Structure 1
Amino acid sequence: MALNPSRSAVSATCKVLRRCGSSSQSVVQRLGQPVRQLSTSASRRNEAVETTPEQEKRPRWSYTPERMKGPGFSINVVKDPSRTIWHNNEDPAKLDAMYMRLLGSKGDRMLPDEIKWLAVTHKSFDQGRRGFNTRLAYFGRLIVSLETTRHILVTPAAAEDSPIQDPFNREPFQHSALANVDKLNIKQPMDVASKEKIAKLAIDVGLPEVTRWKPRMPEHLEGSGFIAVLNTSLFAIVGAISLQHGAETAQQVVREKILRRLGA
């Protein structure tokens, strides 16, 4: 007798499910198959975009892809229209001159044209639609940090940097493999290759004139991250050279073209 209520409840539930299934099938038969509006409209939009032979011959760095362009308007309200005006370099000869000042007489031949432009393109330029140098800069920053640390370890310590005599005449543990590690207690890689020093080197070789970016405040470049942008571009060049020619070439560039100019 105790199972009768549960059995009646199960039978009632089954009847409701049958009615719902039959009603849903009848609705599908009346309405027909569903239409995927989003995929259809996207395919039509892609089919409408056509490129002319002249557009196909343009280098990738010189234009924004047609399919990455928006509807022609922006929802952002510009408070100061004068801040939207900013001109970037579009002259390949000017870019090559910067690479030669930085890397030497044949520095403009070390990287392909697309990579040369990508290395000096910040993510703020053209909303990042032409590619940007963030990942190259991350890789190059690690290479510069490694070479700077190695330079500190192999450089002989100055007399004033010698360890202080222990007042209790205790002798610390000595080992040839750890002889140079204590130098990092006196000097860090950030002291040799600081952001300010890297930015000054970038200014000396003319990197600000060819770096493509959009400052938030054109009237106040330092407040818009001018130093960080220059560091990113210089590190990106090192990362691109390492990917193009290997780690040994990138390490040589860092030692001879960057650390030596920083006075290391």
Structure 2
Amino acid sequence: MASNLSTRAVRTACSSSKAAARSLATAIPRRTFATGPESSTGETEQPRWSYTPPRAKAPFSLRLHSKRPFFHVNSDPALLDQFYIRMLGNDGDKMLSDELKWLAVTHKSFDQGRRGFNDRLAFLGKRIVQLQTSLALVQSSEAATTPANPDPYGRTPFSHPALDGLRSLSPETKSFLTDRSKLSELAQKYEMQNILRWTPRKPDDLKASGLELVLAHTMYAVVGAVSLEKGGHIANKVAQERILEPLGLKTVS
């Protein structure tokens, strides 16, 4: 009899705790992660790239009384479209969606990363550029004329035209051809620095703030964005024609 009473008491306590948990869950508003612009009213939604999400804003400024000078960042879509035309060619401004165009040129230092940033796009784009660099080195006609070291025993090693380019394929060669400084110079020819969204550590000294690294990083991000939106075939052409060939590495389609 006593065991039955204790069992009933335990069941009653469990049911009451579950009911309390349900009421608490309904009382607390559920948080969701938005992938697009939020709109609590029926008004026109703002583009996601143009504002900081309200829930991501700090209750107060973390740089109150900061003496750091103001650094202007582009917010003009027309200026951004002109950059994509310069880098991607005619109709380059129509190759990507508006959201992806802004994301590709946004560094994680801008707005503390609250509007998204281009790290994943740059990771993908760098792999594509490195692959195309390797293929260009293997297929290079200059590599086939490179003399091989003579064999001390007079043996003739196996040779084939498809294997001659392997002599030029090395991590050092690829790093030299796609050096950060070279990518940065090419990015400046495309005037990427005018539309880059980032927050330099020293606004009065961009070089010391890492402008060279950020520009090279963003070049990879643009290639990654093209791959995401248009596929690998188009991204390969962009890497070949808009990055490697201007750097002096001829590619074979």
TM-score bin (small chain): 0.7 to 0.9
Cα shift at 1:86: 1.9
Say if 2:144 and 2:161, in contact at 8 Å, map to a contact too.
no
Distance 2:44 2:79 in 1: 23
Distance 2:44 2:138 in 1: 53
- Is 1:224 the counterpart of 2:213? The answer is no
The aligned amino acid for 1:153 is: V
Distance 2:60 2:185 in 1: 38
Choose between structure 1 and 2: higher helix proportion: 1
**Structure 1 unaligned blocks of 5 or more:** 1-19
Match of 2:56 in 1: 69
- SS of the equivalent of 1:197 reads helix
Q: Which has the larger radius of gyration?
A: 1
**4+ long deviations beyond 4 Å:** 20-29, 31-39, 41-44
Match of 2:3 in 1: none
Distance 1:236 1:115 in 2: 10
Say if 1:121 and 1:132, in contact at 8 Å, map to a contact too.
yes
- SS of the equivalent of 2:74 reads coil
Say if 1:161 and 1:186, in contact at 8 Å, map to a contact too.
no
Distance 2:67 2:117 in 1: 25
- Is 1:192 the counterpart of 2:180? The answer is no
Cα shift at 1:121: 0.7
Give the RMSD, CA atoms, in angstroms: 3.4
- Alignment map for 1:100-179 (pairs within 5 Å): 100-157=85-142, 161-175=146-160, 177-179=162-164
Say if 2:143 and 2:165, in contact at 8 Å, map to a contact too.
no
Residues 185 and 147 from structure 1, CA distance in 2 versus in 1: closer, same or farther, beyond 3 angstroms? closer
Number of equivalenced pairs: 243
State TM-score, norm by structure 2.
0.79
Say if 1:110 and 1:241, in contact at 8 Å, map to a contact too.
yes
Residues 101 and 69 from structure 1, CA distance in 2 versus in 1: closer, same or farther, beyond 3 angstroms? same
Distance 1:120 1:50 in 2: 25
Distance 2:170 2:58 in 1: 56
**Structure 2 unaligned blocks of 5 or more:** 1-5, 32-37
Q: Which stretch shifts more, 176-185 or 230-239?
A: 176-185
State TM-score, norm by structure 1.
0.76
